[in-house]
């Protein structure tokens, strides 16, 4: 899980409600990136507002909220969430040259996961690197290493295709859990549409008889 898949609140709500269908993994570097950017994403800060926010740091209340959110992820998955040792030389050597410098650590984590599964004779398991920054992760080269780089919305669609009923139950749970403030099915599908989960959104718009909110009202 790249940080940009963990940061958007409603997207990550869905991804973790779907965790029974896959095994989420991430690293300490990704956690650092999450904590550094969480408030920016949640508050939708850009341009001058973002510059002013950074200049006025630290923001202890935002830092506490970000840590609380991250702890919720950790507790949902358990201690096995964290990948360690991804900076080892034999891992680093396999990172494709086309991977963006800032995303090397993400590629390393996925390659480490492939090594771990191979050592446990579980090479048939599929490994997905879930990120909205596909162009920086040399998807074709990573595929040659047995790693599928996939956008979050496409990943939700893939899970939907594999287990429609379980995805339906998970999305119902997401809406049920979001009570302060209330979050409708239309709101949720609007968020998933924003992240590109086309197949799931199309199906549930029809199944739930809902319309998507206008684009400007969709939530991350």
Task: Give the end of a domain, one of 112, 128, 156.
Answer: 156
Point out the domain boundary residue: 103, 125, 156. 156
Q: What was the pLDDT predicted at 220?
A: 78
pLDDT in tens, 156-209: 999 999 999 999 999 999 999 988 878 899 999 999 999 999 999 999 999 999
Same domain, 146 and 211: no
Q: Residue 177 CA to chain centroid, in angstroms?
A: 19
What is d(CA 163, CA 103) in angstroms, rounded to the nearest whole number? 31
Dihedral of CA 174/187/21/142: which sign? negative
Tens-place pLDDT, residues 74-95: 999 998 999 999 999 999 999 9
Which residues constitute the domain of residue 176?
157-217
User: 150 with 169, same domain?
Assistant: no
Shared domain check, 162 and 144: no
Q: Which of 156, 184, 202 is the last residue of a domain?
A: 156
User: Count of domains in the chain?
Assistant: 2
In a shared domain, residues 127 and 208: no
pLDDT at 216 over 60: no
Helix-strand-coil percent breakdown of the chain, rounded to 5? 65, 5, 30
Can you tell me whether residue 208 is helix, strand or coil? coil
Distances (CA, A) of 41 to 33, 46, 151, 192, 193: 12, 9, 18, 16, 18
114-165 per-position pLDDT tens digit: 999 988 876 668 999 999 999 999 999 999 999 999 999 999 999 999 999 9
Q: Are residues 82 and 170 in the same domain?
A: no
Same domain (yes/no): 44, 99: yes
Alpha carbons 199 and 160: distance in angstroms, whole number: 8
Short-list 128, 117, 105, CA closest to 31: 105
Q: Are residues 52 and 105 in the same domain?
A: yes
Rounded to 5 degrees, what are φ and ψ at 125? -65, 145
Regarding whether 91 and 65 lie in a shared domain, the answer is yes
Tell whether 60 and 79 lie within a shared domain: yes
Question: Do 100 and 196 share a domain, yes or no?
Answer: no
Same domain assignment for residues 79 and 97? yes
What is the value of pTM for the model shown? 0.93
**Using an 8 Å Cβ cutoff, are 28 and 36 in contact?**
no
Residue 192 burial (CB < 10 Å; 0-12/13-18/19+)?
buried
Does 179 lie in the same domain as 125?
no
């Amino acid at each position: 899980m790249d940080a940009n898949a963990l940061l958007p609140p409603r997207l990550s709500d869905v991804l973790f409600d779907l965790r029974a269908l896959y095994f989420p993994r991430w690293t300490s570097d990704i956690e650092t990136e999450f904590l550094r950017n969480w408030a920016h994403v949640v508050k939708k800060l850009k341009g001058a507002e973002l510059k002013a926010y950074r200049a006025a740091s630290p923001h202890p209340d935002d830092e506490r909220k970000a840590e609380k959110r991250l702890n919720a992820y950790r507790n949902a998955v358990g201690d096995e969430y964290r990948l360690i040792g991804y900076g080892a030389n034999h891992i680093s050597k396999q990172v494709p040259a086309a991977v963006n410098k800032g995303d090397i650590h993400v590629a390393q984590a996925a390659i480490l996961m492939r090594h771990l599964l191979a050592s446990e004779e579980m090479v048939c398991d599929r490994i997905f690197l879930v990120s909205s920054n596909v162009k920086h992760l040399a998807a074709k080269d990573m595929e040659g290493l047995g790693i599928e780089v996939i956008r979050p919305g496409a990943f939700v669609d893939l899970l939907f295709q594999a287990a429609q009923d379980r995805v339906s139950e998970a999305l119902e749970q997401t809406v049920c859990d979001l009570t302060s403030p209330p979050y409708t099915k239309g709101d949720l599908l609007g968020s998933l549409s924003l992240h590109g989960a086309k197949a799931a959104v199309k199906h549930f718009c029809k199944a739930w008889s809902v319309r998507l909110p206008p684009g400007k009202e969709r939530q991350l």
